[in-house]
A and B are shown apart, each in its own frame.
Chain A
Amino acid sequence: MYKIMRLALANIRRHKSESILLGILIMLCMALLGGAIPAEKSANRIFPELWERTGFCKALIALKDEVDPELALEVLKEDDCVEDGQILHYLHGPSARILDKNGDESLFPCTFIDVENEEIFEDFALQTKLTDQQIADLEHPIIVPLNEKKRLELTEGDSFSVIDGAKRFTFTVAGFYESGYFYDTKFIVSDGDMAMLKNVFERFTDLAFDPKDGADLTDISKKWEERASALGLDVESAACIGMDDWSSNFYIEIFYVLKITEVLALIILIAIVIVIGFRVVTDIKEQIVQIGVLEALGYRSGEIALAYAAEYFLITLAGCIFGALLSMGVFSVLIRIFEGLKGYPVSHSADPLSLGIVFAAILLVVTLLAWIKARSVRKYPPVLAFRKGIGDHHFGKSRFPLRNAKGSVHLRLALKGFSSHIRQNIALTLVTGVTVTAVVLSFILYSFMGNGLDLAFSIAGCEMADASVTVMPETDPEDFVRDVEALPEVRKVLPASSMGAIFLDAYELNDSFMANVYADYSQTENIHPIKGRFPEHDNELMITKAVSTASDLDIGDTLRLEYGSIRREYIVTGVVTALFNSNSVYLTEEGMKQLDPFYTPTEFQIFKSEGTTYKELKETLDSRYGKSAGDLGQTDSSQGSCEERIRKRADQVISAMLEQSGATHVEYSIQVGDQVIGGSSSSIRIRSSFDMIQLLTSYMEQLCQTVSITTRLFMVISAAVVMMILSMLMSGEIRRRRRELGIMKGMGYTSKELMLQLALQIMPAVIMATFLGTAVSLLGVKLIAGFVGNIPISVPSVLALDLAVIAFCFGCAYLGARKIKKISVYELMTE
């Protein structure tokens, strides 16, 4: 063993810089895997620990309006497997928006609940700096979940508004509480505000309970359904949800970050494996005479092979030790990212077992591979080894002859070099291909998700117009579209219904779906079916992927919907990914009229012309149609003459009535002395308007930042890996061709010319690898597109990137070959 280790150490000393680079690659791989795997374990604990801390109920059964909750609860409690069964009431606003204290508006699906019901949900404990009296003095107090405190930058006493449709409610923060994860943010409001919000948001009644340990939720639900049905309760297909359902939504961003880290580590590992295979073969060829000498001295080929394995074992061991230390840093960074993403604390502790497994796996893979490759020394008995094997002997045809060669002699010589080492170039193509794939894929992901909008547009599942305008009910939609489309600032107007204006009851599924209605889906720009096609006829609809999964519906299936008292059947024609309002269906206008014969769109999605800003568009709309009801509510009524102030105040009242009380027409008449001041809402044509892009951007901010940082990091690390690998390959190439390069130098070729030849020599492999890597990346993108919808790929950008990658590889190879400069020609030739 001692003599094997001595040989191994001698080899490491011989190729110090290459061994260090290889060690760094192994360290990177170990650090990423060693950080990501324990981080995944910690991330998986966030959810159960949160449940433990908050005492959040473990399961809910959603009841239909007509079901008697008391009776339903009694039936549930009959089950021995059920604990703490209680009735729960809350309000839900899936299309709500929030106007934060800075005046920025963003999508913010949320739930409202009072304290009494919150205590049924979980162990409520208020955290506040305000006194009881101060809280009691607040007009509209609201208690915000702690995990939203940082995201919304709120503190006690701050105000923010929640908007739904054209209705706006302003609250003041009374304090915070730790909340378990629900579908969306759960705000606690006063009883009075609950009563007011009931007019706007949908009311839900659930049965909350905890299944006993080991009890199966599906069994409980099934038994309850059977017994309740027997009592005449309408509980057909009642939705029973538990922790698993919530957790599947919870981990999306975390999963993304983790998978990117793990894939990167695996790419590095593949690159290491290929490089080591290449290096062992090069080393054996280079040291063939010494191998012959060792064999002549009595060393067995198995021992020599073991020495090579030991060399890589030692390098890997060192890389893994440093990598394990670095992995703690990677682990901490990942935990911080998770905490930032979710707003919940992540408990983390050292996980020596996972780290040990990763450590041992990398060590085993690398050593085993080196040993397998090194076993080729058996092919060289001493006599053959002294003659440098048969591999160095050239026979046959000379490729790329220099006679009558056109163009650069360096290119010609590089091509000769490339054709002389085909096997090594295959390895080079593979290793470059793997790393280039990582660079190209991360670039496409970055360019696609970097600013978040393209991603959002592709997976939002709703049309992303520049502005969304809701008009007063008496407005004729066709006239309005014609009128607005005539404006130079407007490119297109789509009448629609979305953003939670209509909910359809899927009575057989005991669920309700938000309706998206468009006259012609081919006119939409951001709704992309990932499967099937758009609905075209009045008996067709498209569903979201979430609906497809939850309700087990696919293309060709029938979905029965109810609106008012009308029931209709629709055939599913397509599936679409929906980032917001995942419980949605997509119908044509004619399809919607099957359920509501008087349906007319009141929402208009406006696409601005090239070069027009949202502000300019809004100003044009305001000057043409007057201020919207929402904007009138914000006017200052303390300035101007008495009449002006009265009119402004009247506008505010009209605005509040239209927005909050659902009034459709308001008239007023006020007598001041002898003067009668009158007016009505008939001058108001626009109920509300908002900037959809800004709304979406703010909602997507966190995910986009994560995606942007991770893909950029991915690109940088991949580029660094390419650089290290090419540097190692060049060092190996110079070692192997030392004598040949020395002769060339002796003939008068300068170091720079030889560096150019060496760099050009790997270019065919790099070019092949780049296009191969791009093809693989595009396939990967196509796979991802299957999940998220359309991923736009800019062909010129990808081609430009390919050229940049090729230039980068050339630069790395050229600089990697600079070692040749340091070696004197005499030394090179005679070594």
Chain B
Amino acid sequence: MKAILHTEKLCKSFSNSGLQQHVIKNLDLEIMEGDFTVIMGSSGSGKSTLLYALSGMDKPTLGKVFFGEEDISSYSNDQLAIFRRKHCGFVFQSIYLLENMDVFDNVMTGALAVQKNSPELAKRAEELLEKVGIRKELWKKFPNQLSGGECQRVGIVRAIINEPELLFADEPTGSLNSASGRDVLDIFTELHEKGQSIVMVTHDLRTALRGNRVVFLRDGNIVGEHKMLPFGSDDEKKRRESLQSFLDEMGW
């Protein structure tokens, strides 16, 4: 397996009223193709900041981020936008659907940033929506007319419609009830099984269990890493116990 994304001495700091806050410190990380990498850590450890720096949503303060052989940390904002739309998909905790667009248009807006409008594109959107359980009668509804779980499923379709090489997820089940959360995670598992590379930030054990690699962050540095077999291929109880013991070791 080759690395799809890697960082070299990645640093990210914020300044506020002259005070520098170093959130990520000289971090080296490799994301392997086809891996479901879960980034964990306590609050304020820099999980989300790392995710956004990796995905080109934000620029690192120092260090480099390579997508394949390409150093994306030197990209301009517009180059990063083009990189994101071509190679990445995003699922957020706050979902971030466009409030003034119906379900179908939310999905199409993401797709049209990359591809020209075509009947195939609309057909693909329909298939994906049906696949994640968004019924046809919901396609013309606005986000405020859907449940949180439904919205997140629309968010996932929007993220994957362009078949991204990397799917980033920031606490995708954080704002959902457990049933909806499970449905969403099942979608992620299914995507991973089909070879989708995923990087997910979470602080939820059940969510982290879906990955095959857990990276633990503390004070902006990777302090531990735990590898697992793909979800469903081993005994869930043992899987949970080994992850729990890793997390306990990390002081979580």
If A394-B142, A413-B109, A740-B100 touch, whether A748 touches B57 (CB-CB below 8 Å) is: no
From A392, A401, A747, A753, B110 is in contact (CB under 8 Å) with A747
Shortest distance from the beta carbon of A793 to any chain B beta carbon, whole Å: 42
Q: B98 in the interface, Cβ–Cβ < 8 Å?
A: yes
Which of A45-53, A181-189, A337-345, A403-411 lies at the interface? A403-411
If A740-B100, A747-B113 touch, whether A401 touches B105 (CB-CB below 8 Å) is: yes
Q: A713 in the interface, Cβ–Cβ < 8 Å?
A: no
B117 and A395: CB pair below 8 A? no
B96 and A739: CB pair below 8 A? yes
**Chain B residues with CB below 8 A from A745, complex form:** 81
Among residues 748 to 782 in chain A, which have CB atoms less than 8 Å away from a CB atom of chain B?
Answer: 748-753
A395 and B84: CB pair below 8 A? no
Nearest chain B residue, comparing its CB with the CB of A827: B58
If A398-B105, A402-B108, A406-B117 touch, whether A751 touches B78 (CB-CB below 8 Å) is: yes
A825 and B57: CB pair below 8 A? yes
Q: A746 in the interface, Cβ–Cβ < 8 Å?
A: yes
Q: A416 in the interface, Cβ–Cβ < 8 Å?
A: yes
A198 to B109, CA, bound (A): 89
Among residues 96 to 129 in chain B, which have CB atoms less than 8 Å away from a CB atom of chain A?
Answer: 96-102, 104-105, 108-110, 112-114, 117, 119, 122
B109 and A402: CB pair below 8 A? yes
B78 and A743: CB pair below 8 A? no
A406 to B77, CA, bound (A): 28
A825 and B58: CB pair below 8 A? yes
**Chain A residues with CB below 8 A from B113, complex form:** 409, 747-749
From B59, B84, B90, B100, A394 is in contact (CB under 8 Å) with B100
If A402-B112, A750-B82 touch, whether A826 touches B117 (CB-CB below 8 Å) is: no
If A403-B122, A743-B96, A749-B85 touch, whether A824 touches B58 (CB-CB below 8 Å) is: yes
Q: B147 in the interface, Cβ–Cβ < 8 Å?
A: no
Shortest distance from the beta carbon of A387 to any chain B beta carbon, whole Å: 10
Total count of chain A residues near the partner, CB < 8 A: 37
B145 and A395: CB pair below 8 A? yes
Shortest distance from the beta carbon of B100 to any chain A beta carbon, whole Å: 4
B109 and A398: CB pair below 8 A? no
A420 and B81: CB pair below 8 A? no
A747 and B99: CB pair below 8 A? no
Q: A6 in the interface, Cβ–Cβ < 8 Å?
A: no
If A402-B109, A743-B96 touch, whether A821 touches B84 (CB-CB below 8 Å) is: no
A394 to B99, CA, bound (A): 7
A764 to B154, CA, bound (A): 31
A404 and B105: CB pair below 8 A? no
A749 to B144, CA, bound (A): 24
Shortest distance from the beta carbon of B175 to any chain A beta carbon, whole Å: 14
**Chain B residues with CB below 8 A from A398, complex form:** 101-102, 104-105, 140, 142
Highest count of chain A CB atoms <10 Å: which of B98, B113, B145 = B98
A684 to B108, CA, bound (A): 89
**Chain A residues with CB below 8 A from B239, complex form:** none
If A402-B112, A409-B112, A409-B117 touch, whether A821 touches B77 (CB-CB below 8 Å) is: yes
A398 to B145, CA, bound (A): 13
From B57, B104, B119, A401 is in contact (CB under 8 Å) with B104
From A402, A743, A750, A753, B105 is in contact (CB under 8 Å) with A402
Q: A393 in the interface, Cβ–Cβ < 8 Å?
A: yes
**Chain B residues with CB below 8 A from A703, complex form:** none
23 cross-chain CB contacts under 8 A: A394-B99, A394-B100, A394-B142, A394-B143, A397-B140, A398-B104, A402-B104, A402-B105, A402-B112, A403-B105, A404-B117, A409-B112, A409-B113, A413-B109, A739-B96, A743-B97, A744-B98, A746-B96, A747-B110, A748-B81, A750-B81, A751-B81, A821-B77
